[in-house]
Structure formats: C-alpha cells, structure tokens
Amino acid sequence: MLCIKGGKLVTPAGINERDLWIDGEKIVSGEGRGGRIEVYDASGCLVFPGFIDAHTHLEMDNGVTVTADDFPSGSAAALAGGTTCILDFATQDRGGALRDALDRWFRLAEGRSYCDFAFHIAVTDWNPSTKGELADIVRRGVTSFKVYMAYDNLRLTDEQMLELLKATRELGCITGVHCELGDEVNRRVREELSAGHMDVKYHPLSRPNEVEGRAVRRLMELARESRSPVWVVHLSTREGLAEIRAAREKGVAVLVETCPQYLTLTEEVYIKPDFEAAKYVCSPPIRSREDKSELWKAIKGGEVDIISTDHCSYNFAGQKELGRTDFSKIPNGLPGVEHRPALIWTYGVCRGKITPVRMAALLSENPARAFGIYPRKGSLEPGSDADIVIWDPQFRGTLTAVKQLQKVDYSPWEGFALEGRARAVFLRGELCAENGRIIKGPCGRYVPRRATWRKH
C-alpha cells in the first residue's frame, strides 16, 4: 500500500487536502487490507490525476521526413512532464488497410513506451474495404478516427468524409478533423510562391483565419447531416469558434480541442530573423493576440473541452531546414508533449485565467471521457488507475531545450518562465518520474477504449 499524504487533491468537486491511498495499480478508498504502508509526503503540492495528451504524432512519416521523436523519447518526455497517457495517431497508408496502420503503431509502442498509450486512426483512403474494417478496429479498442481536410497526401473529399462520419456514428465513435480547406491552402501557397514569396513569413499568410473558419463551417454541416459527433482538432481562430458556437446552438455534438501554442504564442514569431521563424511552422499557424485571447475566453466559458499538444517534432537542423528557400517545404509541426502541463499551469492557472480544477478537466478528465477511458483514467476516485501527478507550485525555472527529454533540437518556448512542475509522477502506482527526469521504465501499456458516443 502507498499513501500520498499532505497534498491537495484536485478533483471535479474542488481542491481538498486528504490522503490518497493506492493498492498495486489502483486508487483505493483507504488502508483496506493493511500490510506494509509506504508514505509519500506531498505537503505543499497539488495532486492531479495523470494528464492525458489526446493528440500526438510520434514516429510519423510525412512522406519526406520522419518526426524527430519516436515512442521512447516522446513518451518519456510526456511522462517526465506529468502526462501519463498519450493518444497517438496511427496513420493509414494510401491504398493500405487500417489494420496494417494499427499493427504498425502497436509495434512502435509496445515495450517502448514510458507512459500508457492508445491510438486514434487517421483515415487517408476511404473505400469499401476501409468501411468494412471499422468494426474490427473498434473491437481492438480504437474508438476514434481522424480526417484531414488539407494535405494532398492525407485528405479525404467531403463526400468520403460524410460517409465515414455516418459509419463511425453507427459504431458509437467520434471523428476528429483537421479543419483547413485544402484547395484554398494550395491556391494561396501557389500564389505566394509564384510571386517569389519564399520566406517563412508567407506560411501564415497562405493559411489565414478564414481558411480554418470555412473548414469548420463545412465540417459543422457534415456533422449535422450525418448526425455524428465530431472533434475539431487544434482550433486556432475566432472564426472557427464562431462556427462552432452557431452549430452547437443547432444541436451539433462537437468537441473542441486547442493547444498550448495557440494560447501562449502570437504571429510575431514568424518575423524572427535567420530562419528562426521556421521553428514555429505548424498548421494551422500561430495566430494573432486577439485569437489567443478569444481562445482563453472560450476556455474560461467552457466552450473548449480539451487541451492537447499536436506534438509533431522536427529538428531545426536538417528537417525545418528543408524549407530554407521555400516555406512550403518546411515540415509542419511543433514539439510540446513534455511541457503542456507546465505551460498551462504557468500561463493559465498562475495568470488567473483558469483554476487548477479546470486545468484538471481540460488536461485529464475531459479527454478521458471523450475518448472512452474514464474513469479508468482522468480520475482520482477509488477504482481508477493510480496515475498521479504530484505538482510543485513552488518550482521556478526556465524552459530550455538543453534540458528537455524530447529528442528535438529546440523548443518553441525557449526562455519562457515556468512557475510549477511535476515533482513526482506515478504510473499505475509506480513512481516513474521525478523533477523532469525518468527513474523507471519503459512501463507504458496499451489502453483499449470503449465507444461511448451514443447516437443522438
């Protein structure tokens, strides 16, 4: 038995100082069967349920290069920062089967992951055999899918998306969508390049707010027509938010996700000199100060459900540099899986934007509920997995890539002040990370998920 004493537990009912008991891999209600009791002193700290990152891309091949983080490095970084479970995207090859993508991701993760893991499947090729595979995939514990509206090598047509939404709805699943209109992005990129605009600063100009807004509008229409729940991944704009509001009023079931980069950075990053700006190339791009503050307001008002990272890391040297003379060749994506809790704590909780209780909802309980793993994950109640973060609010430090476990040569938040960190991280009852360092593992296990989206 383990007893975590003296900490303040962050639960949906509020923050309470009480003991937390653990027996083996589970949280229990009290001392129970007795025996030897180990005590962990959490005085002065908050006790959170392990954080869940519902949006990561580890060992992902974008067709030109492979992400810098693999499962060992990405999951170790996650765990060290307080994230005990990640949901990674197993991406279908065009012409390939969903089951092959899932098999491949199992091979990548099993025995190599430091935190627990689950998968969504990104569907890039919709045909009759894809549809026929869905039920099997759900039986293997994958109950959410993802579709891209942009990226020519990944996207589906609206018609294919509609069919997929109808089919996944029948299975009680939710589908996430990357909302940027691919044709519009392509046209704008072409226009910039033919005008000789090769610099990084043209990346955000080729993907303006309305390209997201209109894509969200289209998705809301498809969701309404299919009566399927949908998940807007990495929302970045006021325009997208307005479409979601309007759709919710009409009864569309939509889950909203945003990411730390859209909450802590602004578009000025794209005018950094010496190609530094390439470090911030992601899609959708980093937006304006106004978008950032609207997103925080939406978080405060309960309109955003989850904060994930979209962790998709590429080294500056050798990878981001592929686009030195052509911004459209810069691989898209930012690292973040290690620092999400500390960033949201510092720039959300410490700045008075959200409470610790809301942070626990956005980073743990809500993703657990949305993706069919609650209350096994996302809860500090008896019966839940003992995934626990002892959070030290006294810690003061500076985020720097030199110290990170992410296997990437920079951080978009280099030099940012941090005002708290995970002092200890328990994964299913085992102390696996302390003060940003891994002390045990890889012990991560697959978490099969239930299909929880009832038809409405």
Per CB under 6 A, residues contacting ligand DUC are: 57, 178, 282-283, 310, 312, 332-333
320 binds, among Zn ion, ligand DUC, none (CB under 5 to 8 A by kind): none
Binding piece for Zn ion, criterion CB under 5 A, among 26-34, 73-81, 171-179, 262-270: 171-179
Closer to Zn ion by CB, 53 or 133: give it: 53
Total residues at the site for Zn ion (CB under 5 A)? Answer: 2
Draw the binding track, 278-317, toward Zn ion (x: CB under 5 A; -: no contact): --------------------------------x-------
308 binds, among ligand DUC, Zn ion, none (CB under 5 to 8 A by kind): none
Smallest separation (angstroms) from ligand DUC to the CB of 333:
3
Rounded to whole angstroms, the Cα distance separating 143 from 121 reads 9
Closer to ligand DUC by CB, 234 or 377: give it: 234
Binding piece for Zn ion, criterion CB under 5 A, among 158-166, 173-181, 346-354, 420-428: 173-181
**Tokens 């981001």 appear where?**
320
The residue type at 16? N
Smallest separation (angstroms) from ligand DUC to the CB of 337:
13
Smallest separation (angstroms) from Zn ion to the CB of 159:
21
Closer to ligand DUC by CB, 320 or 428: give it: 320
Closer to ligand DUC by CB, 8 or 178: give it: 178
Residue 151 CB contacts under 8 Å (≥ 6 apart), including other chains: 178, 182
Smallest separation (angstroms) from ligand DUC to the CB of 370:
19
**DSSP per-residue codes, 294-330:** HHHHHHHTT---EE---B----TTTTGGGGTT-GGGS
C-alpha angle 7/9/11, rounded to 5°?
A: 175
Smallest separation (angstroms) from ligand DUC to the CB of 148:
7
The residue type at 133? E
Rounded to whole angstroms, the Cα distance separating 20 from 456 reads 38
Smallest separation (angstroms) from ligand DUC to the CB of 151:
7
Binding piece for Zn ion, criterion CB under 5 A, among 58-66, 174-182, 405-413, 441-449: 174-182
Closer to ligand DUC by CB, 146 or 169: give it: 146
282 binds, among Zn ion, ligand DUC, none (CB under 5 to 8 A by kind): ligand DUC
Asked if residue 178 binds Zn ion (CB under 5 A), the reply is yes
Helices marked H in 1-70? none
Smallest separation (angstroms) from ligand DUC to the CB of 331:
8
Q: Give φ, ψ of 51 to 5 degrees.
A: -80, 150
CB-based contact 101:92 (threshold 8 Å): yes
Smallest separation (angstroms) from ligand DUC to the CB of 322:
14
Joined tokens for residue 365: 């309980």
Q: How many CB atoms lie within 10 A of CB 36?
A: 6
Joined tokens for residue 219: 């998705």
List residues bridging with 358 in a β-sheet: none
Closer to Zn ion by CB, 178 or 238: give it: 178
Q: What is the DSSP letter of 272?
A: -
Closer to ligand DUC by CB, 143 or 313: give it: 313
Q: How many CB atoms lie within 10 A of CB 351?
A: 11
**Tokens 């307005």 appear where?**
242
Nearest residue relative to Zn ion (C-beta): 178
CB-based contact 98:123 (threshold 8 Å): yes
Closer to Zn ion by CB, 199 or 212: give it: 212
358 binds, among ligand DUC, Zn ion, none (CB under 5 to 8 A by kind): none
Smallest separation (angstroms) from ligand DUC to the CB of 319:
12
CA torsion through residues 67, 73, 74, 77, sign: negative
Rounded to whole angstroms, the Cα distance separating 184 from 193 reads 14
Joined tokens for residue 371: 């993706």
CB-based contact 285:204 (threshold 8 Å): yes
**DSSP per-residue codes, 214-257:** HHHHHHHHHHHHHT--EEE-S---HHHHHHHHHHHHTT--EEEE
Closer to Zn ion by CB, 179 or 247: give it: 179
Closer to ligand DUC by CB, 48 or 148: give it: 148
Residue 264 CB contacts under 8 Å (≥ 6 apart), including other chains: 292, 343, 347, 413, 416
Smallest separation (angstroms) from ligand DUC to the CB of 374:
26
Q: Please, which of residues 310-349 interact with Zn ion by CB under 5 A?
A: 310
376 binds, among ligand DUC, Zn ion, none (CB under 5 to 8 A by kind): none
333 binds, among ligand DUC, Zn ion, none (CB under 5 to 8 A by kind): ligand DUC
Binding site for Zn ion (CB under 5 A): 178, 310
